Amino acid sequence: MTELLSSLSGLLQAHQSPASKLVLALSGGLDSRLLLHTLFEYRQQHPDTVIEVVHVHHGLSVHADHWARECQRWCHEYQLTLHIEYAALDLDSNQSLEAQAREARYGLLARHLAPHDLLLTAQHADDQLETLLLALKRGSGPAGLAAMGEVSDFNGAYLLRPFLGFTRQYLEQCAAQLQLEWVEDESNQNQDFDRNFLRHEIVPKLAQRWPHIQAAAVRSAGLCYEQQSLLQSLIDEKYQTLVDLNQSLDCQQLIGYESALQNQLLRMWLKQLKQVMPSQKQLRLIVTEVMGAKSDANPKLVLGENSVHRYQNRLYLVANCAVNKQWSQPLGFGEAMPLPCRLGTVELTHTDDRGMQLRSPLKNELVSVVFLDSVKGAILHPEGRLGSRKLKKLFQEYQIPPWKRTFIPILMYNQQVVAVGNLFVCKEFSGDDCRFYWDN
C-alpha cells in the first residue's frame, strides 16, 4: 500500500497546482475502488486537497443501479463528494458498445474538469499489456504502440494513471489486505470482447512464461510514447504551415514531402478533426487518388462517415450526407422552415433585416425551396452583375466547393429560380419589400 500511495503522491506533486482539483473516475471495480482508498489516504496527509468522485452509469447491466449505490456508500464513508453521470448509448449504432461506452465515459468525466485539474483513472500494468497487444493486432504505429501514458493531456487538464506500474495481482493483494469491497462487472467475463479474451486467455499464459512481461509492456509503451512525443514536436511546425482556419490542408506543399512525412501529417490532420485513423492503404489513396487527381477533377475518398475532398489545391474533410434529389417544400411568410441534413432553416419575411432583398411573390406565384438537382443546367442573371451564367459557373465564381453546392437551398417562385442561398438574388426578382434568409 505504501508503494501505491507513493506513486500517487509523486504524480500529484509533479502536476498539481494550487488551483488543481482532483477528479477520480470510480467504476466500483477492484482497481478504481483501491484508488479511491489510496486517494482518501492522500487527503488525510493533505487535508486542503479538493477532491470530486465521478461514477458513470452506463445502464448496460441489471446491476448498474447497485454499483452506483455502492460507490455512493463508499464515498459517504470517506466523506467525499460523488457525482453520478448517466450515459446515453445507441444500441442500434454501428459503433461497438465498448467504444461508445468509452467515449461517453470520457465525455461525461470532462464535464467535471477545468484547465489544470487532474483526472485520476486506475488502469494498471495488465491493462497496458492488453492495450499494447490490441495495438499490435491492429498493426498500429508508434502512436498506437505508445498505448496509455502515465500522464497525458485531457481537454486542457491532465489524465493521471498512478497504478500503471503495478500488476492486477499486486492490486488484488493490496485490496485483500485492506479488506476492501468492490463490484464485479459480469461483462468482463464475456470473451466476445477482444480485451476480455486477452485478459482471460492470453495474458495469464504470457505472465506464466515471462513473469515480468507486464513491466516490459509498460516500459516499451513508455519508449514508444517518448518517441511519438518527439516526432510530434518535430512535425508540428510543418503542420502549422499546411493547415488554415477552415482546417483544410495545403496539397501543393504536402505532395512535395516524402511518403513517411506525408502519412504523419495526414494522420495529424485527421486526428485534429476527430476522424478515426485510416489504414496505410487509405493514406496512400488520399495521396494518389485525391491529391494526385487531375486538376479539373473533383476527387474524394470515403472514410467511414466522412470523405476527404480536394478543392483548389486543398484537402477538406466533409461529413457524408445526401439530400433527396426530389426534395421540395412550400415556404410561407414568416416561418423558419427546417432543411434536411441539419442544414439550418430558411425564411421569407417582410420584417427581418437579415438576408437578401427581393420582391414579394405575386398572388399566382407558388413559393418553394429546392436544391441543386431540381434546377441543374439553369442559366441565371444575378442582381448587380452583367449577363447570365450557368449556375455551375456561378458556383465556381463564388468559390463554392462542389460538395457544398448540393446543400445550398434555392428559393423558387413557381418554376423560376429567385435566390440561391445567401449568395445572390436573380435580377428579374430584385426588389426591396421582402427578404430571404438562410440561417446555417
Expressed as residue numbers, the domain containing 283 is 243-319
Domain membership of residue 230 (yes or no) is: no
pLDDT digits (tens, 9 = 90+) for 335-360: 899 999 889 999 999 877 788 999 99
314 and 413: one domain? Answer: no
Check if the beta carbon of residue 391 is closer than 8 Å to that of residue 378. Answer: yes
144 and 56: one domain? Answer: yes
Q: Which of 296, 319, 342 is the last residue of a domain?
A: 319
What Cα–Cα distance (Å) separates residue 103 from each residue in 86, 116, 406?
13, 21, 32
46 and 115: one domain? Answer: yes
269 and 413: one domain? Answer: no
Check if the beta carbon of residue 29 is closer than 8 Å to that of residue 185. Answer: yes
Ranges under pLDDT 70 in the chain: 1
pLDDT at 167: 93
| Dist. CA 216–CA 407, nearest whole Å | 53
Q: Which of 225, 253, 272 is the last residue of a domain?
A: 225
Domain membership of residue 234 (yes or no) is: no
Which residue is it, cell 513491466? Answer: 215
Query: Going by DSSP bridges, is the β-strand pair 389-390/379-380 parallel, antiparallel, or unpaired?
Result: antiparallel
123 and 178: one domain? Answer: yes
β-strand partners of 55: 84
Q: Which three cell numbers stand for residue 342?
A: 441539419
* Amino acid, res. 98: E
| Dist. CA 439–CA 338, nearest whole Å | 10
Check if the beta carbon of residue 265 is closer than 8 Å to that of residue 256. Answer: no
260 and 395: one domain? Answer: no
| Dist. CA 210–CA 222, nearest whole Å | 19
276 and 336: one domain? Answer: no
pLDDT at 358: 93
Domain membership of residue 38 (yes or no) is: yes
pLDDT at 362: 92
Check if the beta carbon of residue 299 is closer than 8 Å to that of residue 309. Answer: yes
pLDDT at 145: 85
116 and 264: one domain? Answer: no
DSSP string, 225-236: HHHHHHHHHHHH
Number of domains the chain contains: 3
CATH number of the domain encompassing residue 108: 3.40.50.620
pLDDT at 1: 61
289 and 188: one domain? Answer: no
pLDDT at 216: 93
Domain membership of residue 238 (yes or no) is: no
Domain membership of residue 236 (yes or no) is: no
